[in-house]
Chain A
Amino acid sequence: MLNAMLEPAPMAAVAHPADKQVLFRLAAIGKSYGSTRANQNINLEVCTGEVLGLVGANGAGKSTLMRILCGVTEPSEGTMTWAGEPLDLSAFSPAEARNRGIRIAWQELSLSPNLSVAENFYVEQPQFARFSPGWLRDYHRLADQTLTRIFPGARVSTSRLVDDLSIAERQMIEIARAASDPDLKLLILDEPTSSLGAERSKQLRSFVRDLTARGIGVIFISHKLAEVIDISDRVVAMRNGQLAWVKAADQTSISDLVDAMGGAGTAKERTTKEVANTGHVRVRLEGDRFGAQPLALKAGEIIGIAGLEGSGQRDLLAALFADKAPRGITRDGRTRYVSGDRGREGVFPLWSVLDNISIGRLARRSPLALVKDGQERPVARERAGRLALDESRLDSNILDLSGGNQQKALVARALDDDADIILLDDPTRGVDIAAKGDFYRLVREIADAGRLVIWHSTEDLEFLQCDRVLVFAGNEVVAELAGSEISEEAVVAASFLQPRQPVEAPSERRAKAIAVALRAIPFVSLFAVFAIMASMNPLVASSFGLELLLAPAVTLVLIALAQMFVVGGSEIDLGVGGFTGFINVVSATLLVSTPLLGIGALLGGLLGYALIGFIIQARAIPAIVVTLGASFIWVGLGQTIQSSPGGSAPPWLASLFTWTIPGLPTPLVLIVLAGLVAVAFDRSPTGTILRAFGSGTRALERAGWSSVRYAMLRYVLAALFATTAGLYVTATNNASDINAGASFTLLSIAAVVIGGCQLLGGIIAPLGVVAGAVTLSLIGALLASLGVSTDFNAAVQGGLLIVILGLQALALRRRKHG
């Protein structure tokens, strides 16, 4: 039966209307990842002015196919023709796809959360950017116009950060952003309405009809089958990486589509016996969240955990797995957790299947316990046998197995003799149908052996395998279905029940207050330190006093700005201090004696940084190690050029930094200038893309931006600021010392942190960093004027860094829970 289902149905050729031309033709396209075939023998055409509906279960290969269509993934075999012209598959990049007018709104949304709405439009449609300070205004207009055209009445401010928007708003922007291309030829909408209400969904469909009237082709992928039938001209069903069939939309029906998505094969009828369960109570759930009566979950039962995604199902699993169960949940027995997110939460990719299974036993042993392969192997083999997992593959790497077999290995890991409760977190995600059938049998066997199975699934059909189902909505159990009450319809209906207590909106005002406070830290502390110093010595506030006080701060400001751009890419430059020292030495020696060689050395420094950026990005090596290695190179070079402090500044360099504007302290002017340059760059189109890369490379690469090129740019930019810092040191000290830069590395990181940047990247604040850097360098002066030995400087700076990072961590944690 299953086998018959897996056979691709004979291709029902549906002729497309004669007046339409073929836009995109795929012939025998296939894609393999190791031993798994994500796509196989795909023959498909998309015509101008046509909506092609695409349906298929999770893991059917839709996403892979879409990634192939827009150049993100290169197919392993087959040919593609665009408007009659054959495509060179290896040269078909995301950028190439865009040039031809292919745009996609991704299901998992590819917006950069740390950019504004308008800036996100720039990332997707960079072709309109002018070289002018007001360039972003065009994008505000474009974003606003497109949004109003597709979703009339949806008021989204185009200057808001995407991070602050609701999921529905983000989805609208993802769609509008893709559709705003004036040269659009093919628009792919991947689950475009998953977070949209009925009204917005209707607006979108009417927009799609407008598009087709203009001859644009649209591919519409959705699990909302009624919408697919409503909007499409033809419908394609995919199953197991292949096309199951293609039909005209008016010749198909919802039940047709459900069958095609593989619903039929899994289990339409309940297979479980209904006997009163008298097992030992393993878990008891009490309290308002779980309904009026306490819920008793017993050994031998399979309990389904259902509900719309994110309604509290996973929180329950996490609570049941926690060392100490929270209030209202009592647990009697040991738990094991099996996640369906195998890549992130399941497999250990460097290990064999055997090691992946045996870690379950070893994880709970005393660290000093001995591990003997001879003891682990028989246990693993016995479990593999029970799960129908081929024993001969125990020594293969885990990633060589198919998704279904990997999942079996993860279940085998959990099958310890002393495990009483097995938690399954959407375990069949991305597992093919045949393996699913096996898996369901296995889960029943586990329960029959006297264990309690708690099974969270995102596929409602799977709950037919359960004895009881708890349906969640708004973090509450809103329904309990048992035995014959369980059906897909009942589960879906219950998911939409209102929770008894209104869902608490997270205290947004408080989160905002914390964010504002964090952003104000550098300015407040700068003011405080300055006020203290001025009150101790009024001369400080004079122009001359400022001149003396701020002169050393300029260096730190420049280096901190250099560090800021690196941190913006969620990396750290441990070599920036050494590099500044190197520039200091070069400019005080070579640049004086042999200017040409000196300039060559300065350029060499920039080139070195470009190379660092390239190595880090292209070879995926941690920035810390590369920049740590580089710091030794810079210091070594400096030492080789000049082994002890000395040298002098070229006269022109000195005059470059030591002019005066009457009444204004020069260092203050320099600091303000440096800050303005950084802000201007950060707000420029290039700076915007750099910032976007800080929140992740995938979205940007899909939009056709080269991560390697921008990584190099980021490091060159940092080097430019650090070079200026080195030159400034030479000009003002009229001498050089290779060790002078060393202490700036930690200080620059501290300034960046105080300035309000996030070390995880993406959020940078040039003005905050400037204020933070000035504060830090004033603290040095303050300590000196208080008579504290300079020996303590490092400790104070290090301690300050720890305190501020600690505060940030606390604030963020509270924000999460608040």
Chain B
Amino acid sequence: MAESTLAFLRRRRWIWPLLGILILWGALTVLTARFSIYSLTGVAVSASFLLLPALGQMLVITTGRGNIDLSIPSTVTLAAYLSVMTANGTDAGFLLSLAIVLSGGIAIGLFNALLVLGLRIPAMIATLASGYILATGVMIVNAQINTFSRPPLLAWVATGRVGELPVMVIVAILVAVVIGFMLARSAYGRQLFAVGQSLEAARLAGVRVKSTIASTFVISAALSSLTGMLLSGYAGGAFLEMGTPYLLQSVGAVVLGGTLIAGGSATAFGTLLGGMLLVMIVTTMQIAGLPPGAQDILQGVVIIAVLSVAGTRIGRQAS
């Protein structure tokens, strides 16, 4: 009995963040009268913006061997600037702007993939370096930015509601469902997990290893770009440090969600819950009136602590 419970927990690692969310929510509701379903939607909107880059980060991490995308913050910020610069206030213009932002994201992803696969630079350094180059791009466009004429469609997606439900939450959940379905039910998911567990074994089994890895960098950069665009719609503009929180939080959501940091196994649902939990922790700290510095500390501590307790290989050791 205990054995099967353990096996169940091992397979469904998203239980833990769900548990965390419920406990935190319960505690908040009891301790403060201010926290309610309404604040929960606020949390959900913030979590939705985090979820998109976190899903991309999850795919990159799942390819294993320490792969990680550190260019996410710069990509988010650059995309926000691009959507501000290309917007002309009409929905027709918005589609063009969307095309520009997305193709920019794809180009960034391809560049990262080229560095990692073509030049064999470790992913963390390649994406760190490309992040710096993008940051310079942001600095340059920052000088020439004008007022943002926000297209109505973008405003609706970023801030609108369908009934009680924010559109942004629906968008994020849809993306999570698509990626979750891909991982669980498509050949792509199997190929990705195979690459993450053992690159050589995957290659010899016939998986197109390089295109699989490249695809994760492209998806990650594309999702980050989308996030940047939506953020600009939400905030009504773009600013320099816009993407910064997503560096640690994208990794945090993945780790808290139960995806293996060593690669080979991932859960989109877990990342969704992990993002939610992380945002709730931040919100709690804000309600408690902690300074921003303390929030950074706690996020760092939570991520390291969760990793230390969970270890890298939940399940078994390869003998």
Pair from one complex: yes
* Cβ distance B78 to chain A, nearest Cβ, rounded Å: 12
Q: Which of B189, B215, B319 contacts A33 (CB 8 A)?
A: B319
Q: Looking across the interface, which residue of chain A has its beta carbon closest to that of B215?
A: A367
* Cβ distance A581 to chain B, nearest Cβ, rounded Å: 12
Instruction: Determine if A339 is an interface residue (Cβ-Cβ < 8 Å).
Output: yes
Known pairs A367-B187, A791-B140, A794-B132; A636 contacts B293 (CB<8 A): yes
Point out the residues of chain B lying under 8 angstroms from A34, CB to CB.
319
* Cβ distance A361 to chain B, nearest Cβ, rounded Å: 9
Known pairs A367-B187, A615-B308, A632-B297; A336 contacts B133 (CB<8 A): no
- Flag A339-358 by CB within 8 Å of B: 1 or 0 each: 10001111111110001001
Residue pair A362, B293 in contact (C-beta under 8 Å): no
Instruction: Determine if B157 is an interface residue (Cβ-Cβ < 8 Å).
Output: no
Instruction: Determine if A630 is an interface residue (Cβ-Cβ < 8 Å).
Output: yes
Instruction: Determine if A622 is an interface residue (Cβ-Cβ < 8 Å).
Output: yes
Point out the residues of chain A lying under 8 angstroms from B296, CB to CB.
632-633, 635-636, 639
Instruction: Determine if A619 is an interface residue (Cβ-Cβ < 8 Å).
Output: yes
Point out the residues of chain A lying under 8 angstroms from B137, CB to CB.
795
Question: With the chains together, A367 CA to B188 CA distance in Å?
Answer: 4
Instruction: Determine if B198 is an interface residue (Cβ-Cβ < 8 Å).
Output: yes
Q: Looking across the interface, which residue of chain A has its beta carbon closest to that of B121?
A: A805
Question: With the chains together, A805 CA to B122 CA distance in Å?
Answer: 10
Interface stretch, picked from B21-29, B80-88, B93-101, B260-268, is: B260-268
Point out the residues of chain A lying under 8 angstroms from B132, CB to CB.
746, 794-795, 797-798
Instruction: Determine if B246 is an interface residue (Cβ-Cβ < 8 Å).
Output: no
Interface stretch, picked from B167-175, B204-212, B269-277, is: B204-212
Instruction: Determine if A572 is an interface residue (Cβ-Cβ < 8 Å).
Output: yes
Question: With the chains together, A350 CA to B196 CA distance in Å?
Answer: 10
- Which residues of B287-305 have CB atoms within 8 Å of chain A's CB atoms? 291-301, 303-304
Instruction: Determine if B39 is an interface residue (Cβ-Cβ < 8 Å).
Output: no
Residue pair B293, A749 in contact (C-beta under 8 Å): no
Question: With the chains together, A659 CA to B310 CA distance in Å?
Answer: 50
Interface stretch, picked from B46-54, B158-166, B229-237, B247-255, is: B247-255
Residue pair A399, B201 in contact (C-beta under 8 Å): no
Instruction: Determine if B15 is an interface residue (Cβ-Cβ < 8 Å).
Output: no
Q: Which of A351, A367, A413 contacts B186 (CB 8 A)?
A: A367
Instruction: Determine if A646 is an interface residue (Cβ-Cβ < 8 Å).
Output: no
Q: Looking across the interface, which residue of chain B has its beta carbon closest to that of A372?
A: B185
Question: With the chains together, A366 CA to B182 CA distance in Å?
Answer: 12
* Cβ distance A508 to chain B, nearest Cβ, rounded Å: 23
Q: Looking across the interface, which residue of chain B has its beta carbon closest to that of A337?
A: B204
Question: With the chains together, A806 CA to B188 CA distance in Å?
Answer: 30
- Flag B173-201 by CB within 8 Å of A: 1 or 0 each: 00000000000011111110110011011
Q: Looking across the interface, which residue of chain A has its beta carbon closest to that of B126?
A: A802
Number of A-B contacts (CB under 8 A): 226
Residue pair A363, B202 in contact (C-beta under 8 Å): yes
Instruction: Determine if A620 is an interface residue (Cβ-Cβ < 8 Å).
Output: yes
* Cβ distance B65 to chain A, nearest Cβ, rounded Å: 9
Known pairs A348-B194, A348-B198; A619 contacts B312 (CB<8 A): yes
Interface of B is mostly: helix
* Cβ distance A612 to chain B, nearest Cβ, rounded Å: 8
Task: Identify the interface centre among B137, B186, B207, B291: most chain A CB within 10 Å of its CB.
Answer: B186
Question: With the chains together, A112 CA to B300 CA distance in Å?
Answer: 35
Point out the residues of chain B lying under 8 angstroms from A620, CB to CB.
311-313
Residue pair B304, A626 in contact (C-beta under 8 Å): yes
Point out the residues of chain A lying under 8 angstroms from B122, CB to CB.
572, 759
With an 8 Å Cβ cutoff, the count of chain A residues facing the other chain is: 76
Residue pair A370, B190 in contact (C-beta under 8 Å): no
Known pairs A370-B186, A802-B126; A344 contacts B200 (CB<8 A): yes
Point out the residues of chain A lying under 8 angstroms from B251, CB to CB.
625, 628-629
Point out the residues of chain A lying under 8 angstroms from B66, CB to CB.
622, 624
Instruction: Determine if A364 is an interface residue (Cβ-Cβ < 8 Å).
Output: yes
Q: Which of A346, A350, A794 contacts B264 (CB 8 A)?
A: A350
Question: With the chains together, A264 CA to B307 CA distance in Å?
Answer: 52
Instruction: Determine if A128 is an interface residue (Cβ-Cβ < 8 Å).
Output: no
Task: Identify the interface centre among B187, B295, B297, B311: most chain A CB within 10 Å of its CB.
Answer: B187
Known pairs A349-B318, A636-B294, A638-B293; A365 contacts B187 (CB<8 A): yes
Instruction: Determine if A631 is an interface residue (Cβ-Cβ < 8 Å).
Output: yes
Residue pair A809, B193 in contact (C-beta under 8 Å): no
Residue pair B307, A626 in contact (C-beta under 8 Å): yes
Q: Which of A367, A621, A799 contacts B307 (CB 8 A)?
A: A621
Q: Looking across the interface, which residue of chain A has its beta carbon closest to that of B311?
A: A619
Residue pair B197, A349 in contact (C-beta under 8 Å): yes
Residue pair B68, A371 in contact (C-beta under 8 Å): no
Point out the residues of chain A lying under 8 angstroms from B297, CB to CB.
632-633, 636-637, 640
Residue pair B187, A369 in contact (C-beta under 8 Å): yes
Residue pair A791, B248 in contact (C-beta under 8 Å): no
Q: Which of B295, B299, B319 contacts A399 (CB 8 A)?
A: B319
Residue pair A805, B304 in contact (C-beta under 8 Å): no
Residue pair A371, B186 in contact (C-beta under 8 Å): yes
Point out the residues of chain A lying under 8 angstroms from B260, CB to CB.
350
Instruction: Determine if A643 is an interface residue (Cβ-Cβ < 8 Å).
Output: yes
Question: With the chains together, A370 CA to B182 CA distance in Å?
Answer: 9
Instruction: Determine if A360 is an interface residue (Cβ-Cβ < 8 Å).
Output: yes
Point out the residues of chain A lying under 8 angstroms from B308, CB to CB.
615, 619, 621
* Cβ distance B13 to chain A, nearest Cβ, rounded Å: 12
- Which residues of B118-155 have CB atoms within 8 Å of chain A's CB atoms? 119-122, 124-126, 128-133, 135-137, 139-140
Task: Identify the interface centre among B126, B129, B255, B307: most chain A CB within 10 Å of its CB.
Answer: B129
Question: With the chains together, A110 CA to B312 CA distance in Å?
Answer: 27
Residue pair B300, A629 in contact (C-beta under 8 Å): yes
Known pairs A349-B318, A619-B307, A801-B129; A643 contacts B291 (CB<8 A): yes
Point out the residues of chain B lying under 8 angstroms from A794, CB to CB.
132-133, 135-136, 139
Point out the residues of chain A lying under 8 angstroms from B188, CB to CB.
367-368
Residue pair B191, A349 in contact (C-beta under 8 Å): no
Residue pair A347, B128 in contact (C-beta under 8 Å): no
Instruction: Determine if B18 is an interface residue (Cβ-Cβ < 8 Å).
Output: no
* Cβ distance B244 to chain A, nearest Cβ, rounded Å: 10
Instruction: Determine if A81 is an interface residue (Cβ-Cβ < 8 Å).
Output: no
Q: Which of A397, A799, A809, A810 contacts B316 (CB 8 A)?
A: A397
Instruction: Determine if A527 is an interface residue (Cβ-Cβ < 8 Å).
Output: no
Known pairs A621-B261, A624-B66; A630 contacts B304 (CB<8 A): yes
* Cβ distance B229 to chain A, nearest Cβ, rounded Å: 23
Question: With the chains together, A801 CA to B98 CA distance in Å?
Answer: 32
Instruction: Determine if A321 is an interface residue (Cβ-Cβ < 8 Å).
Output: yes
Residue pair B264, A631 in contact (C-beta under 8 Å): no
Instruction: Determine if A359 is an interface residue (Cβ-Cβ < 8 Å).
Output: yes
Instruction: Determine if A496 is an interface residue (Cβ-Cβ < 8 Å).
Output: no
Point out the residues of chain A lying under 8 angstroms from B110, CB to CB.
none
Q: Looking across the interface, which residue of chain A has its beta carbon closest to that of B66?
A: A622
Question: With the chains together, A628 CA to B66 CA distance in Å?
Answer: 13
Residue pair A348, B121 in contact (C-beta under 8 Å): no
Question: With the chains together, A707 CA to B244 CA distance in Å?
Answer: 35
Point out the residues of chain A lying under 8 angstroms from B197, CB to CB.
348-351
- Which residues of B36-87 have CB atoms within 8 Å of chain A's CB atoms? 66, 68
Point out the residues of chain B lying under 8 angstroms from A363, CB to CB.
187, 190-191, 194, 202, 205-207
Residue pair B121, A362 in contact (C-beta under 8 Å): no
Q: Looking across the interface, which residue of chain B has its beta carbon closest to that of A366?
A: B187
Residue pair B129, A349 in contact (C-beta under 8 Å): no
Residue pair B316, A629 in contact (C-beta under 8 Å): no
- B residues near A, CB below 8 A? 66, 68, 115, 119-122, 124-126, 128-133, 135-137, 139-140, 185-191, 193-194, 197-198, 200-202, 204-207, 212, 215, 247-248, 251, 255, 260-262, 264-265, 291-301, 303-304, 307-308, 311-313, 315-316, 318-319
Q: What are the 4 tightest A-B residue pairs by CB atom distance, in nearest-first order?
A: A639-B293, A636-B296, A795-B136, A798-B132
Q: List 18 A-B contacts (CB under 8 A).
A: A347-B318, A348-B201, A413-B205, A574-B128, A615-B307, A624-B66, A628-B251, A629-B251, A632-B300, A633-B301, A636-B296, A636-B298, A637-B293, A637-B297, A791-B136, A805-B121, A806-B121, A809-B119
Extra pairs beyond A368-B187, A632-B296, A802-B115 (4, CB < 8 Å): A348-B198, A368-B188, A749-B128, A798-B129
